[in-house]
C-alpha cells in the first residue's frame, strides 16, 4: 500500500527489513544498543560486526531516543537505532512517538532521502500492534506534512497480520 503525503511517499510492505534498500533502516533497539535477538539480531547477522562496534562506541541512548550508525554489509547505508518503550514502564505512547520522531529527524539531519521502519516495540517489548500503528503512522504523516528532505518512508512489517493492522490504520488516517 502506497500513499502520497505532501508529494512524499508513505509505503507499507510485508517483508524483511534487513533487505530494504532505503538510505536507512530503523532498528528497534534497547537503550544499551546491544544487538541481541529479533530484528536487531538479524541486522547484526546480515550487517556484520561494524554496526555493533559503532553502537559500543556510542554507548547507548534514552528510551524515545535514536542514534545512527553505518549499515555495514546491509543494502541500507545506515541503521538508525530507535529505543522504543517496554510495555508497563509508563508513558509508553509518548516514548514511542518520540522514538519515531527522533528517527525521522536524524534521517533529515543526515540528509537521507528514504527510511524504513519496523513496528517498534511490538516484539519482546510487548507494545500492542494497533496502538503502535496509530502512533507511528500519525507521527510520520504529521512529519511528512512539514519541512523535510525525506522523499520516502516505508513501514516494513513482519507478517500479514501486522501489515493488515497498519494498512487499516493508514486508510483511517488518510481518509479523514
Domain ranges in the chain are 2-174
Q: Roughly how many angstroms between the first and final C-alpha of the chain, as a whole number? A: 17
Supply the mean pLDDT for the chain: 96
| 105 HSE (CA, 13 A, CB side) | 12
Query: Do the Cβ atoms of 142 and 135 come closer than 8 Å?
Result: no
Q: Which pTM was predicted?
A: 0.96
| Tens digit of each residue's pLDDT (9 = 90 or more) over 84-127 | 999 999 999 999 999 999 999 999 999 999 999 999 999 889 99
Query: Do the Cβ atoms of 140 and 174 come closer than 8 Å?
Result: no
Query: Residue 31's pLDDT is what?
Result: 95
Has residue 79 got a pLDDT over 90? yes
Q: Which phi and psi angles does 152 have, rounded to 5°? A: -150, 130
Q: Which three cell numbers stand for residue 87?
A: 510495555
CATH fold of 2-174:
3.40.220
Q: Which residue has the cell 533529515?
A: 108
In whole angstroms, give the CA distance from residue 77 to residue 70.
Answer: 6
How many helices (H) and strands (E) are present in the chain, helices listed first?
5, 7
In whole angstroms, give the CA distance from residue 128 to residue 35.
Answer: 22
Query: Residue 39's pLDDT is what?
Result: 86
| Tens digit of each residue's pLDDT (9 = 90 or more) over 12-42 | 999 999 999 999 999 999 999 999 888 899 9
Amino acid at each position: 500500500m502506497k500513499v502520497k503525503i505532501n508529494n512524499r511517499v508513505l509505503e507499507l510492505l510485508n517483508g524483511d527489513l534487513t533487505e530494504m534498500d532505503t538510505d536507512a533502516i530503523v532498528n528497534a533497539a534497547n537503550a544499551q544498543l546491544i544487538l541481541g535477538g529479533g530484528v536487531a539480531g538479524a541486522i547484526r547477522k546480515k550487517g556484520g560486526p561494524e554496526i555493533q562496534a559503532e553502537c559500543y562506541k556510542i554507548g547507548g541512548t534514552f528510551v524515545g531516543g535514536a542514534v545512527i550508525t553505518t549499515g555495514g554489509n546491509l543494502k541500507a547505508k545506515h541503521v538508525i537505532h530507535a529505543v522504543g518503550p517496554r510495555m508497563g514502564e509508563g508513558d509508553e505512547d509518548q516514548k514511542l512517538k518520540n522514538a519515531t520522531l527522533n528517527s525521522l529527524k536524524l534521517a533529515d539531519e543526515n540528509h537521507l532521502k528514504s527510511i524504513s521502519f519496523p513496528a517498534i516495540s511490538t516484539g519482546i517489548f510487548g507494545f500492542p500492534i494497533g496502538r503502535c500503528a496509530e502512533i507511528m503512522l500519525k507521527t510520520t504523516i504529521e512529519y511528512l506534512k512539514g519541512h523535510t528532505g525525506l522523499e520516502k518512508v516505508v513501514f516494513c512489517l513482519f507478517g500479514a497480520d501486522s501489515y493488515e493492522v497498519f494498512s487499516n490504520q493508514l486508510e483511517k488516517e488518510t481518509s479523514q
